[in-house]
Amino acid sequence: MNFKINILDENTINKIAAGEVVERPSSIVKELIENSIDAAASRITIEIEDGGKKLIRVTDNGTGIDSHEVEKAFQRHATSKILNIDDLYNLNSLGFRGEALASIASVSEIEVITKTENDKFGTKLYLSGGSVIKKEPIGCSIGTTIIVKNLFFNTPARRKFLKPSNAETLSITDIINKICVGNPNIKFKYVNNNKIMLTTPGDDNLKNTIRSVYGKNIADNLISISTQNNYFKIYGFVGNNSIYRSNKSMQHIYVNGRYVKTTLILDAISDAYKSILPVNKHAICFLNIQVDPKSIDVNIHPTKLEVKFENENELYKFIKQEIYASLIHSSLIPKFEEHINDNLSFNSVELNSVSKEMEIKENLFIEEQITIPKYNILEDASDPKFNILRENSNIPIDSNAYLNNSSVNESEFVVREDEKTKLPDLDIIGNIFNTYIVARSKESMFLIDQHAAHEKIIYEEYLYKLKNSKITSQILIDPIVLDLSTKDILIIKDKLSLFEEFGFEIDLFGNNRIIIRSIPNLFGQPESERFIIEIIDNISIIENQYELRKDKVASIACKAAVKAKDFLNTIEMDALIKKLRLCENPYTCPHGRPIIVEIKKSEIEKMFKRII
């Protein structure tokens, strides 16, 4: 078959080109805001409706566009930023290709209102599908307003693949947050469906801007960094070890004012924090990197989110070294007062501290009316003086052993009456190092890690209740007030039922704050705050993936459990062992470490040469 080669018409070319520049509504918002920044605006207002599908309006007080050049701005490859290829390597603006407005106009309906300082009147221009419909004078202030309506109205296939409005709103909010932080000298206002979501002070104070976008907790846990060498200047803030996230979404990198996601820089940040943050956690940072424009290439990706550096190895080493130095020269000791309500008197604080210390322990004292599942106690191994206790692999285990029984305390696990315990009857002898419970049976001695045991109890109990919709909550006398970003608030608002399922009662308070009125019975305040952040970070996959929920619960259980070095009396140790016996798997903690180790009587006798 012979195929004829066709020259595409300008309209088709523009629609195809728009596919690279205009991926979704957030792409339009980004391009329009960057145009406003390049126009030297000091105030920018962003308004959206229906996730940007119905309306996007960006208004600035920048230089405006001359009346006779307004139409030219919507032609492909028309730009005021560069004249020739040489200018591309000495770039001081965010835009440079002259494609954004043409691409946006080709797949939407656009209204432009603009006025320069020298124009007597402003200009109003209407476009639809890239074609100019009408142009007329108008009275307006200096600056530019661009209104984008009915996105992808003429490319229904593209519109069909847009995400739900909530998801598109989150994407827009995220890019607005990042642009705000990168431009603390500009006063931003963000309005979603006629509701003001965010305002920034525009006072050129980066920390104040971070506080307005991401809240007090993050702003109060930042370490300042300002350094330079022969090639680079780095300044901004990095988070201490009290704040971190499950992904890299809170790593803000700006190169010559441009927000970027460059793997080289992200790797350097991760390596700097390697021994400082928990495993699989990621730093929060806000870094500005100034570099000679001639030594970078910003034209390697359609979205301009990647940058190529001339001295990559030097930059990697410099970032890693300077961040690490800033961290180790700062206090990384968490502040106890972070979790104390400012309004409490001294006596109240003392009482709350005592009750919080006892909160973990008191759950161990509940007497159970229980029967225990049947499992083989021990499995002989060929060699070990110290055997890790485990089930006999030949005996089938009923993984659904927990059955609801209203006669039993709600916090307990219940199993069939004809079953026996997996663990032997243990007599508690004592505790060594305030870490390991020492117990004995007829022919063996056992060491039980008190932290790992309590961790497993919390983990299995919470997961069981979560799976069976039995989560119980405790109402807080002093509700937790948590400052979050606008994006995080939108996630919580959209998924309130999910947080209720996890045992939280949350009220939205303003645009950047939530009030936590109830938390799961098994969690303390710090663990609850961390768990909420974990849910937010993984919201896209956590809703339907039970395994991921288990991973997050394991992390929180570890923090909420009795710690090594915590003193437990005999009654408390006995209660802990009783609860451990109710676990489906009492042998390893959620992270896979052993909970209980057996030393057989015969092995002890061998040590003392009583038997050979």
Whole-number average pLDDT of the chain: 79
Q: 10-203: which CATH topology?
A: Heat Shock Protein 90 (3.30.565)
The bridge status of strand 251-255 relative to strand 195-199 is unpaired
Q: Check residue 158 and give its pLDDT.
A: 84
Task: Tell if the pTM clears 0.75, that is, is over it.
Answer: no
**199-203, 302-306, 318-322, 377-381: the lowest-pLDDT one:** 377-381
pLDDT at residue 586 is higher than 60: yes
Top-tier CATH class for 357-464+564-607? alpha beta
Instruction: Tell me the pLDDT band of 299, cut-offs 50, 70 and 90.
Output: low
DSSP H or E stretch at residue 395: none
Q: Using the structure block, give the residue that is written with the tokens 């006063």.
A: 187
CB-CB contact of 273 with 251 (8 Å) = no
Q: Check residue 420 and give its pLDDT.
A: 40
The 3-state DSSP class for residue 517 equals: strand
The structural architecture, per CATH, of the domain 221-328 is 2-Layer Sandwich (3.30)
Question: Which residues pair with residue 131 across a beta bridge?
Answer: 128
Edge-first strand listing for the sheet containing 473-483: 473-483, 513-520, 505-508
Q: Check residue 552 and give its pLDDT.
A: 64
Interval 514-535 mean pLDDT: 84
Q: Is 433 left (phi over 0), alpha (psi -120 to 50) or beta?
A: left
C-alpha closest to that of 550 among 592, 493, 586: 592
How many Å is the maximal CA-CA distance in the chain? 107
Q: Check residue 511 and give its pLDDT.
A: 80
Tokens at residue 426, please?
Answer: 């243990």
Q: Is 24 left (phi over 0), alpha (psi -120 to 50) or beta?
A: beta
The bridge status of strand 258-260 relative to strand 505-508 is unpaired
Question: Which residues pair with residue 525 across a beta bridge?
Answer: none
Q: Using the structure block, give the residue that is written with the tokens 């395994």.
A: 547
CB-CB contact of 485 with 512 (8 Å) = yes
Q: Check residue 607 and give its pLDDT.
A: 86
Interval 484-493 mean pLDDT: 91
Interval 422-429 mean pLDDT: 85
Instruction: Tell me the pLDDT band of 16, cut-offs 50, 70 and 90.
Output: low
The bridge status of strand 436-440 relative to strand 444-449 is antiparallel
CATH number of 470-560: 3.30.1370.100
Q: Domain limits of the chain?
A: 10-203, 221-328, 357-464+564-607, 470-560
Q: What is the pLDDT of residues 388-401, one digit of tens each?
A: 444 433 333 333 33
Q: Check residue 277 and give its pLDDT.
A: 86
CB-CB contact of 12 with 85 (8 Å) = no
CB-CB contact of 155 with 9 (8 Å) = no
